[in-house]
Chain A
Amino acid sequence: MLQWLNQAPSLWNTTLFAISAVLLLVVLLGFVTYAIYFERKVIGWMQLRYGPNRVGPLGLLQTVADVAKLLIKEDTRPKHADKALFALAPILAYAPAFGVLAVMPFTDKIQFADLGIGLLYYVALSGITVLGVITAGWASNNKYSLIGGLRSAAQMISYEVPLVMSVVGVVLMTGSLNLREIVLAQQDVWNIVPQFLGFVVFMIAAQAELNRTPFDLPEAESELVAGYHVEYSGFRFAMFMLAEYVYMFGMGTLITILFLGGWLPIHPSLSFIPGIVWFILKLLLYVFFQFWVRATMPRLRADQLMSFAWKGLLPLALFNILLTAAVISYQNGMF
C-alpha cells in the first residue's frame, strides 16, 4: 500500500486510501467490541459466572447494546467544568490510539505506512494520550478526577521510560526502527528468546501503560470511584473506554511484532497457514493474558508503583541494553 502514498495524489488513490482506512477502523472497532465481550466472558468463567449471555445468541450483541446505550445517553457536563477542555480531552485520548495503528505491519502485505522509524512513531504518538487523561482529570473540576488524572500522568510517564528502554535491545539486534524489518529479522528465532529480559520488562511496563490490573490505579474504583473519567458520561465516556481497548489492541500488536515474530509461523513447515492467522493468534494470546492477570491480581499502591518503575524496571531495562550491546559487540569481534 506504500506505493500509493508515493504516487501523485489523484481521485482514485485518495478514495482507495480513505476506504482502506475506514476498513481498518471498522475491523478495529469490531475487534474492540468483541474484545470487551471476550473479556467479560473469560473473567466470568474464571469467577464462576456466565458472563453476558442474554443479548443476542450467547450474548454476542451485549457490547453492541452497551455502545448503543452510551451513544443515546444524555451528554452531561458538570456545571463548573472547563467547557473546551472537557470536550477536548476524550478526543486527545482517542485519536492517537487509532493513529498508532497506521504503521503496524499485520502481515507482509497489510500495512498502511511503512515508516523507517515506525517504533518511534508508536512511542511518540501514544505519549499524547497522557495529555488527554490529565486534561480530563483537570477539566472535570472534581477532586477524585484530579487525583486520578495526576496519578495517571505520573504513572504513564514513568512507565514509558522502561517501556522504551526495553525495546532498545530489539532495535540493537535488528539494527532498525522499522517494524517490518524487525519482524523479518526474527525468521530464525523470535526475539522473545534472546530478548527475554526485555520482553518481561516490556510486558510489565505495557500493562502499566494500558492502565490495567495490577496497575489500574488511575481508575481505581474502590479508592477513586473511577479516576479521571468519573464525570464523563455517554459518548465521551465511551471514547475513553474505546481508547483503552484500542490501545490494548495496539500494544498487543506491538508485542507480537517486537517479540513474537509478527506474522511468522512457529515453524517454517507451518507456513501454509496464512500470516494473518498467526498474527491474530498471537494477538489473542496476549489479550487473553491481560484478562487472566485482571482476574488474578490485586492492585499496587501508588507509591509502590512509582518506585517499582524507577528502581525495578528501569535498571533491568538498562542492564538488558548493556547485555545486548556486549553480546552484539562480541559477535562482531570487537572484544
Chain B
Amino acid sequence: MSTSPATDIRTEEMLLNVGPQHPSTHGVFRLVVKLDGETITEADPVIGYLHRGTEKLAENLTYTQIIPYTDRMDYLSAMTNNYIICHGVETMMGLEIPERAEYLRVIAMELNRVASHLVWWGTFLLDMGAMSPFLYAFRDREMILELFNELCGARMTFNYMRVGGVKWDAPPGWIEKVKDVVKHVKKQLPDYHKLVTGNEIFLNRIKGIGHYDQRTALDYSLSGVMLRCTGVKWDLRKDEPYSIYDRFEFDVPTATEGDCFARYQLRMAEIEQSLRILEQALEQFPSDGEIIGKVPRVIRPPAGETYVRIEAPRGEIGVYIASQGKDKPWRMKFRRPSFVNLQILPELLKGVNISNMVVILGSIDIVLGEVDC
C-alpha cells in the first residue's frame, strides 16, 4: 500500500446544532450547520420557537386591542410596531391626526430607533468578544428607556399609540429631558467610534465578510440597512414620507460594499441621522394641542383592504389589513423585516469559516419576536 498519508485519513461532515439556546443567536433561533472541517457547507435556519400567532389572534381582537400584541413583535422597537397598526387603520378611515400627536409619535419612534441600534451595536460586539461596548450601549439605552417610562409607563412594551393619536401627553419637562439625552448620545458617539470602529482586530473580522450584491439583495426582498449597504438608496421616510417626516432634513446613508462593515457603518450613521431628526422635531414641537384626534368610539374601518409600510430600524415593516367593516379585522398580515432579512442567511453562510458565522448572523440584526411573530 503506497497511498499518500492525506488520503488515508477518513474525514466526514459534522452536523453542528447551534441554538436554540446559544449565546449568539440573539434569542430562540436555531441553526443547523454542516461543517467540513471549519467550513460551513450548509446552514439550515430553524425558526418558530417564539411563534404566538399574532396574526390569527388579531382576527378576534378589536383594533385597539391589537396594539399591545404588536409590542411583542419587535420588542426592541415597539414604537414603530405601534405606529404601523395605527397608521394602517388611520389610512383606511382617513383620520386626521393632531399636530402634537404626530410630533410625539416621531419623537418616540426616532428615540426607539436610536435605542434599537444601540442594542444592536452592543450585542454585535459582544458576539466578537468585546464586552465593554455592550455596557456602554446599555447605559445610553437606559436613558432612553427612562424617557419612555415617563412618557407611557413602560420600558419595552409601550402600548403608547392609539388610532388617531397617542395615549399619553408628554409630562411637563419631558421635552427638555429628551433634549439632554440627545445631546448625551451625540457626545458619546465619537468615543464609541474611537473605541471600536478604528480597532484593527475588529476591522479584520468584519471587512469583506458576509458580502452580497445589489441583485441578490433585491431578489431576497431585503430592506433597511441590509438593502442600503449594497447601494440602493431606499428609505421609506424619504421615499414614501409618512407621518410628518417630510418636514425634517436628514440624509439616507448608503454604502456599496455590501459587507458586515458597511452594515455596521450604516447603522452607526443612522443613529446620527435619527438624532438630527430628533433635534428638529424637539425644536418644532408645538407647545399645546390635542394628542388624539376625533375618533369614533368604536373603530370600524370601511370594508376593503390596505397595505401600509414604514421604515422600522430593521427595515420595511408593513401591515396588510383586510376589513369587512366590522370592529375586528377579517385578516391581518404583518410584513416583518427581520423575518424577510433572515432568509438570506443560508446563502451568506455557505462556504464561510464557522468563526464568521456569528458575525454574519449578528450583522443581519434580527429580533426573534419579530421573526416568529
* B353 and A298 within 8 A (CB): no
A295 and B355 contact, Cβ closer than 8 Å, known pairs A143-B14, A300-B201, A301-B205: no
* A298 and B135 within 8 A (CB): no
A295 and B132 contact, Cβ closer than 8 Å, known pairs A143-B14, A302-B38: yes
* A299 and B357 within 8 A (CB): no
Q: Which residue of A lies closest to B130 (CB)?
A: A298
Q: Which residue of B lies closest to A294 (CB)?
A: B131
* B201 and A303 within 8 A (CB): no
CA distance A294 to B38 in the complex (A): 26
Contacts of B205 in A (CB 8 A): 298-301, 304
* A303 and B22 within 8 A (CB): no
* A299 and B135 within 8 A (CB): no
A186 within 8 A of B: no
Q: Which of A46-54, A176-184, A278-286 contacts B (4 or more CB under 8 A)?
A: A46-54
Name the interface residues of A27-77: CB closer than 8 Å to any CB of B.
Answer: 43, 46-49
* B135 and A222 within 8 A (CB): no
A284, chain B: closest CB distance, angstroms: 21
Size bracket, chain A contacts: 20 to 34
* B136 and A48 within 8 A (CB): yes
* A298 and B355 within 8 A (CB): no
* A298 and B199 within 8 A (CB): yes
* B129 and A298 within 8 A (CB): yes
CA distance A304 to B203 in the complex (A): 12
Most buried by B among A214, A216, A221, A223: A223
Q: Which of B79-87, B120-128, B293-301 contacts A (4 or more CB under 8 A)?
A: B120-128
A297 within 8 A of B: yes
Q: Which residue of B lies closest to A217 (CB)?
A: B355
B24 within 8 A of A: yes
A20 within 8 A of B: no
A195 within 8 A of B: no
Q: Which residue of B lies closest to A49 (CB)?
A: B135
CA distance A296 to B198 in the complex (A): 12
Contacts of A117 in B (CB 8 A): none
Pick the contact of A298: B17, B22, B139, B202 (CB < 8 A).
B202
Contacts of B135 in A (CB 8 A): 47-49
Pick the contact of B23: A47, A48, A147, A222 (CB < 8 A).
A222
Pick the contact of B129: A47, A225, A299, A303 (CB < 8 A).
A299
**Total residue contacts A-B, CB cutoff 8 A:** 79
* B129 and A295 within 8 A (CB): no
CA distance A304 to B139 in the complex (A): 32
Pick the contact of A214: B24, B125, B201 (CB < 8 A).
B201
* A223 and B353 within 8 A (CB): no
Contacts of B196 in A (CB 8 A): 298
Name the interface residues of A283-314: CB closer than 8 Å to any CB of B.
Answer: 294-304
CA distance A214 to B203 in the complex (A): 14
Contacts of B132 in A (CB 8 A): 46-47, 295-296
Most buried by A among B16, B22, B354, B355: B355
CA distance A303 to B37 in the complex (A): 13
* B128 and A299 within 8 A (CB): yes
* B353 and A301 within 8 A (CB): yes
A213 within 8 A of B: yes
Contacts of A294 in B (CB 8 A): 131
CA distance A147 to B357 in the complex (A): 14
CA distance A27 to B202 in the complex (A): 39
A85 within 8 A of B: no
* B195 and A297 within 8 A (CB): no
CA distance A49 to B131 in the complex (A): 12
Contacts of A302 in B (CB 8 A): 38, 353, 355
Q: Which residue of A lies closest to B25 (CB)?
A: A222
CA distance A222 to B356 in the complex (A): 11
Most buried by B among A214, A222, A300, A304: A222
Report B183-207 CB contacts with A as 1/0, cut-off 8 Å.
Answer: 0000000000001100101101100
Pick the contact of B128: A49, A144, A147, A222 (CB < 8 A).
A222
What 8 A-B pairs come out closest when comparing CB atoms? Answer: A299-B129, A298-B130, A298-B128, A47-B135, A222-B24, A222-B127, A301-B355, A302-B355
Q: A297-B129, A298-B128 are in contact. List 5 more A-B contacts (CB 8 A).
A: A47-B135, A221-B23, A222-B358, A223-B358, A298-B130
Enumerate chain B interface residues (CB-CB to A < 8 A). 14, 16-17, 22-24, 38, 125-132, 135-136, 139, 195-196, 199, 201-202, 204-205, 353-358
17 A-B interface contacts by CB (under 8 A): A46-B132, A47-B131, A48-B136, A147-B38, A147-B354, A214-B201, A222-B23, A223-B127, A225-B23, A297-B129, A298-B130, A299-B205, A300-B201, A300-B204, A300-B205, A301-B353, A303-B353
